Amino acid sequence: MVSTGTMAALDRASLLCDQRGTKLTALRRQVLGLILESEAPIGAYDLLDRLRADRKAAAPPTVYRALEFLREQGLVHRIERLAAFVGCVDGAPHEHAAQFLLCRGCGRVTEIDDHDLAHALLAAARRIGFTVTGATVEAEGLCADCAAAA
């Protein structure tokens, strides 16, 4: 059963795709829904296992093609350190710098949108003549709950 919040996010994603002239097919929508419903970042093979509950013939290329589309549309981010994905259906029609806080205690991943951090990275790169075309910042540590429990 898909939550009301996830359904609203999927509807926003579908509208964004329509506005961009792309299509959030039933399969892509299902993969995005699985990511949004996951309590933690989810890997491609975990997605495949969940997808096979409804689509017995689903194979790795099925999931990878859907993930590629969702990344291109800015609807998911890949957490490189974890080789896993999180949803990002914020309504922004553009890519944004992604910054993630990864808790080593509970595994929670929090996306932040710190413009100062993004600008500092761009400025540092510019000082040495480097042009940044995309950046994902992943910081590891402990969330407030885990730090308090430690």
Q: Is the same domain home to 128 and 78?
A: no
Q: What is the pLDDT of residues 61-89, one digit of tens each?
A: 999 999 999 999 989 999 999 999 999 87
pTM for this predicted structure? 0.85
How many distinct helices (H) and strands (E) make up the chain? Answer: 6, 5
Q: Is the same domain home to 55 and 123?
A: no
Task: Give the strand pairing for 109-112 and 76-79.
Answer: unpaired
Q: Is the same domain home to 26 and 59?
A: yes
Q: Is the same domain home to 41 and 107?
A: no
Q: What is the pLDDT of residues 106-115, one digit of tens each?
A: 999 999 988 8
Burial of 67 (0-12, 13-18, 19+ CB in 10 A): buried
Please calculate the CA angle 93-80-105 and round it to the nearest 5 degrees.
110
Judged by DSSP in three states, 109 sits in: strand
Lowest mean pLDDT among 10-14, 33-37, 101-105, 132-136: 132-136
> Residue 97's pLDDT is what?
73
Count: domains in the chain: 2
Domain containing residue 55: 4-87
